[in-house]
Structure 1
């Protein structure tokens, strides 16, 4: 039975592990973590998982090694992990801007299977949208196993590894974009004498309903928009207001900057 080791025991690691626990994909003792924070190790140990104070022991334990640390910590982590990495271990990276080739070079293992993954924070409530990167020579069995790991906490899409930067605005960054959009609406609507918490709950329920309509109705998004926009009505007046103030251009530029920054981080990290 396969083992999974997490270097970094933060929120994203916990969300992934809880998904595995919930689906009983692996027994708890087949999952290990290491972290500089002793309280996090104790937390995972209380969940029945293996807690390693020594990073190298965790690396030696893992058939699949998940790099769940910040990009700026990656160089030090890889340097510590390199001597303990076993033959045949696959590395999963969830750090934006860290390329598979950089990881191979840092570990001194040009033949290493590296599977880059772009998850998002709704994994924390089992509603994740995860992109799994596929290189041409990624073994099908290992790719399928990684997809199964993340499917335990939401939905998974497979795409070429060199497109992970382009997918960031669709899943990884988009929760913050949606929160920002919702905050603007709630702030503005509550200025008209409505209780802000009620407005937030109503708007969030509408987001849920609208998302389900887009996914389940089978209709094109433009058709769904048209069905709400009566000629001369309030909705079309609002959309025309958004367009007049440049919402379309603002969204296009925000997505452009998000993708550009992902590529900048990639270049900075090899």
Structure 2
């Protein structure tokens, strides 16, 4: 047929193999244009090198996509970061350079002398750019046609962006929630570097919920920064930097410092949705939301800014803490899952009404300190009866641990287990009688009441002081 071009055929070389799970994998290795007729012009008009790059050993390296799992490799996690808009490039935040996203290239870069000199000097303002394109041009639908659709579909399937893993949720009988993955690409910030902030951050890092280079902390002084640096987190004295670079922000300052903290902030950017998790005792969620919204010059119920109030305990650091939180009824499901992901992985997590938060803070946020006081008294009592300190301390701690596990695993009440441990006319009833006679029960109840009233008092304080971290 004169005057009409014949369809161009795409010759595809396909490699068929099996992975470790026994699944068949078909990979498009390359495409070959049909031989041109004599006198035809060269198709490579743009001068791009059609050969694949090689590593130091001379092996060809086929294009790879950037993998977020690389950020968890100990040799990479302190400097590796993705390149926005280019899934085939990677960047080094220490050397401020970009490269192709190939694991072998990352290993070679990690061993280079320049990288060894720059390691540890991370620039938080570094914006990576795509690496220079080298190697074979990837075919696109506009540049090729094919008379064999099946290989072409397989090839285009590889060119599609990888889907994010879906969040899998499973609920247990105790309403605790566990999750299959962490927080994904969300970055976490802490305003305040005290003991509560460190407990939450350490627990999140140990559980793998977030990688260290996605955590930033700010504080007015450098007093606690050395610990955060050892964990691989970024530190700064600027609260605005934490807010602008994070999606989840923990407010871990003293309640009296909240107004001064918000007043010193620049206008909160509106480039993305953010969730502020308030750890301030006695300060209601509505008050925090109104202060932040006023600084942002928006209403408190705007969809881009959300506030959750939490009352955690320091055993979150070892994954055995307790946390209660309150949230607005219209809190998006994605942020609700994020809060549950964090605190359920670090212990026990319950969603409660705002009116219960102060009482829960007085009983269970302060509860570990009450338990430590009892362990100290139990150890001192044993020493008074002749037991050495090096035996009294660990055995008192183990006694508390064993009693707590009995309560959690048997499902029995404390009164039932107390009766089971008490033999008529034995030593345990005599000791319990002494505790009741000296007012142990009422002393503990009075401690919870005093802590609750103090939490409410902190919420009413209007004094503005320096933003010292909690703890």
- 1:82: how far off? 5.2
Are the structure 2 counterparts of residues 44 and 200 from structure 1 closer, same or farther at C-alpha, using a change threshold of 3 Å? closer
Q: Does 1:54 align with 2:54?
A: no
Instruction: State the secondary structure of the residue aligned to 1:29.
Output: helix
- Per-residue CA deviations over 1:102-145 (Å, capped at 9, x if unaligned) read 21232215224210111111123332212222332322321220
Instruction: State the secondary structure of the residue aligned to 2:316.
Output: helix
Indicate the larger mover: 15-24 or 253-262.
Answer: 15-24
Are the structure 2 counterparts of residues 203 and 138 from structure 1 closer, same or farther at C-alpha, using a change threshold of 3 Å? same
Q: For 2:444 and 2:237, how far apart are their aligned partners in 1?
A: 45
Gaps of 5+ in 2: 1-184, 464-471
Q: Does 1:242 align with 2:444?
A: no
Instruction: State the secondary structure of the residue aligned to 1:167.
Output: helix
Q: For 1:84 and 1:150, how far apart are their aligned partners in 2?
A: 26
Indicate the larger mover: 44-53 or 22-31.
Answer: 44-53
1:31 — aligned with what? 215
Confirm or deny: 8 A CA contact 2:203 2:318 kept in the other structure.
Answer: no
Confirm or deny: 8 A CA contact 2:262 2:291 kept in the other structure.
Answer: yes
Structure 2 counterpart of 1:218, from 411, 430, 450: 411
Q: For 2:405 and 2:449, how far apart are their aligned partners in 1?
A: 27
- 1:41: how far off? 4.3
Instruction: State the secondary structure of the residue aligned to 1:38.
Output: coil
Q: For 1:147 and 1:46, how far apart are their aligned partners in 2?
A: 27
Confirm or deny: 8 A CA contact 2:313 2:365 kept in the other structure.
Answer: yes
1:72 — aligned with what? 256
- 1:161: how far off? 2.6
Greater relative contact order structure (CA < 8 Å, 6+ sep): 1
1:89 — aligned with what? 274
Confirm or deny: 8 A CA contact 1:57 1:84 kept in the other structure.
Answer: no
Instruction: State the secondary structure of the residue aligned to 2:324.
Output: strand
Q: For 1:114 and 1:204, how far apart are their aligned partners in 2?
A: 37
Instruction: State the secondary structure of the residue aligned to 2:300.
Output: coil
1:110 — aligned with what? 300
Q: Does 1:189 align with 2:382?
A: yes
Are the structure 2 counterparts of residues 132 and 238 from structure 1 closer, same or farther at C-alpha, using a change threshold of 3 Å? same
Confirm or deny: 8 A CA contact 1:9 1:40 kept in the other structure.
Answer: yes
Indicate the larger mover: 190-199 or 130-139.
Answer: 130-139
Q: For 2:422 and 2:211, how far apart are their aligned partners in 1?
A: 52
Q: For 2:223 and 2:365, how far apart are their aligned partners in 1?
A: 27
Instruction: State the secondary structure of the residue aligned to 1:6.
Output: strand
- 1:23: how far off? 2.7
Confirm or deny: 8 A CA contact 1:35 1:53 kept in the other structure.
Answer: yes
Are the structure 2 counterparts of residues 23 and 192 from structure 1 closer, same or farther at C-alpha, using a change threshold of 3 Å? closer
1:161 — aligned with what? 354
1:151 — aligned with what? 344
Q: For 1:93 and 1:153, how far apart are their aligned partners in 2?
A: 17
- Per-residue CA deviations over 1:26-48 (Å, capped at 9, x if unaligned) read 33333222122336446534533
Confirm or deny: 8 A CA contact 2:190 2:217 kept in the other structure.
Answer: yes
RMSD: 2.2
TM-score, normalised to structure 2, is 0.53
Q: For 1:94 and 1:56, how far apart are their aligned partners in 2?
A: 18
Q: Does 1:265 align with 2:458?
A: yes
Gaps of 5+ in 1: none
Indicate the larger mover: 92-101 or 38-47.
Answer: 38-47
Are the structure 2 counterparts of residues 269 and 230 from structure 1 closer, same or farther at C-alpha, using a change threshold of 3 Å? farther
1:175 — aligned with what? 368
Confirm or deny: 8 A CA contact 1:21 1:28 kept in the other structure.
Answer: yes
Confirm or deny: 8 A CA contact 1:135 1:160 kept in the other structure.
Answer: no
1:100 — aligned with what? 285
Confirm or deny: 8 A CA contact 1:15 1:153 kept in the other structure.
Answer: no
